Chains A and B, each alone.
Chain A
Amino acid sequence: MTRLFKLINFEFNRIFKILLVLLISVVTIQMVGTVKISLVYLNEIQHALEMGMSIEEIHTNYGQISFQRVTGSLWFVGPIFLGIVSVLFYIFLIWYRDWYGKNTFIYRLLTLPTERINIYLAKLVTILLMTLSFVSIQIIAMPLEIKLMSWIVPEQHYIHISAREALTNHIELSFIFKSTFTEFAIWYGIGIISVAMIFTGILFERSYRLLGIGLGIGYIILSVLLFLMPVWIHIMLDDYFYPDELYKLFILSALVVFALSTWTASYLLRKKIRV
């Protein structure tokens, strides 16, 4: 257990610097976007005032401004997708860097006096920590960004919305920010189980190389089918389940996929892996 914790710490430290840079750039880009969008709006208002429009006319034509203008823009969504892409990219890099990096660190990892599955779990937790750090930095940065806008924009043009309202009513981002903790836990739980599934796919490739690509893809397809099993049963039994029961079955099937993935990964790491 302590060795697993040490491994997690080690894996996390390997990504820490880049992660920090990414987190800071997410916040910076969004801050810049907030300022820019506020100023563009104020500019429009200024023009309208010069053209002799009254405040009411301006508000009917240009509307008032709320932070939703920022959340709807690329300035806000762009950095979030940067985060998503970097996590997706690192899911693969976290393994392949140990084989193809300048030094073949995988020798060391595989000859540590600990269960080899701990390597897999440590990498999994690192991906989770990385993902959650993006989510939490967003949650922490939002109120600050909203505050920033309220400083720039005069009160009469400004409509306040809370960070929660801006996040949970954002349709494109609704898959990242869930309104209740249960949903959040279920959603991210299924997310990390999918990562575990991909990890096992990668280990198939690392064990059997060319043939392993096929096996890995096959494994992933099989796992997805297994995960969707409740739907097949549901359809075959003529819509047998109630929605909440179906949801619970999905959680169950996700746990089965997770168990299968770790068990398979453990087997591959013990018996089939190649340096």
Chain B
Amino acid sequence: MIEVRNVIKKYGRKRVLNGVSFTANKGEITCLIGINGAGKTTILNAICGLTPIHGGEILINGKPLSKQTFEQVSYIPDTITMLPQMRIQDVMDFMGDFYDSWNTDRAEQILEFFKLNRNDKIASLSKGNTAKANLLMGLSLDVDFILMDEPFSGIDIFSREQIAEVFTSHLIEDRGVIITTHEIQDIEHLIDKAVLLEDGVVRMEFLTEEMREKEGKSVVDVMREVYQQ
């Protein structure tokens, strides 16, 4: 379980996160929803210790961030995190070299699934393939949690479909996922939990299934209620 407790983050005088709290469980896909600048990426960065927070705490399986965290959590940011001159094979070697949790078999499967060429250089990849390569790195780690920052933004329709397919496959099952997006439509049917952010606080946190069954509302319906009040 990833617990985000009362996290405060300031940029200068501006409070980007003003006491954000939510939890993300293993086996669930948790979606952070909010307009651009709502602090979605900041939360993911904070979970990985890539930006300092000014209050609150973040626990991963009950423990604060340490070097072990990165064998339990994998982060897929919205930019590729490998050097442009590296080939996909180099990237896979690098990952296998540094991460104990790297799963070579799974990496090969994903390579196959996305139809990526292992000899292509990162710099030469299209936007869609870059995102796929990024997913390849993140998903091939045997970790409990996967954090994805806007995996669908700026990507062609076919790539989107391919990526969305991943979520329903065995590549994700049993793991906990935190995903951010500002366009919910593509993945609404995939997510288990929605966390609505606005003005640096969590406006609402709910299980999508429960919401549909009890109140008959889709995520978009709830968003409309929350954001257009």
Residues of A participating in the B interface, judged by any CB pair closer than 8 Å: 3, 6, 10, 14, 101-105, 107-108, 110-116, 207, 270-275
Indicate whether B113 reaches chain A with its CB closer than 8 angstroms: no
Question: Which of A3, A113, A270 is within 8 Å of B49, CB to CB?
Answer: A270
Contact A103 B98 (CB under 8 A): no
Contact A111 B82 (CB under 8 A): no
Indicate whether B57 reaches chain A with its CB closer than 8 angstroms: no
Chain A residues positioned under 8 Å from B67 (CB to CB): 113-116
Chain A residues positioned under 8 Å from B45 (CB to CB): 275
Interface 9-mer from B70-78, B174-182, B183-191, B205-213: B70-78
- The complex places the Cα of A1 from the Cα of B146 at a distance, in Å, of 27
Residues of B participating in the A interface, judged by any CB pair closer than 8 Å: 45, 48-52, 67-71, 74-75, 77, 79-84, 94, 97-101, 122-123
Chain A residues positioned under 8 Å from B84 (CB to CB): 101-103
Residue of B nearest to A104 (CB): B79
Q: If the complex has contacts A6-B97, A275-B45, are A112 and B77 also in contact, measured as CB distance less than 8 A?
A: no
Q: Would you give the shortest CB distance from A1 to chain B, in whole angstroms? A: 13
Contact A10 B94 (CB under 8 A): yes
- The complex places the Cα of A272 from the Cα of B70 at a distance, in Å, of 18
Contact A114 B50 (CB under 8 A): no
Chain B residues positioned under 8 Å from A273 (CB to CB): 49-52
Chain A residues positioned under 8 Å from B71 (CB to CB): 113
Contact A104 B81 (CB under 8 A): yes
Residue of B nearest to A211 (CB): B12
Question: Which of A111, A114, A207, A272 is within 8 Å of B48, CB to CB?
Answer: A111
Contact B70 A111 (CB under 8 A): yes
- Most-contacted residue by chain A among B50, B71, B74, B84 (CB, 10 A): B50
Contact B52 A274 (CB under 8 A): yes
Chain A residues positioned under 8 Å from B81 (CB to CB): 103-105, 107-108, 111
Q: Would you give the shortest CB distance from A20 to chain B, in whole angstroms? A: 15
Q: A103-B81, A271-B52 are in contact. List 17 more A-B contacts (CB 8 A).
A: A101-B83, A103-B80, A103-B84, A104-B77, A104-B81, A105-B82, A105-B83, A107-B77, A110-B48, A112-B70, A113-B71, A113-B101, A116-B67, A207-B52, A270-B49, A272-B52, A274-B50
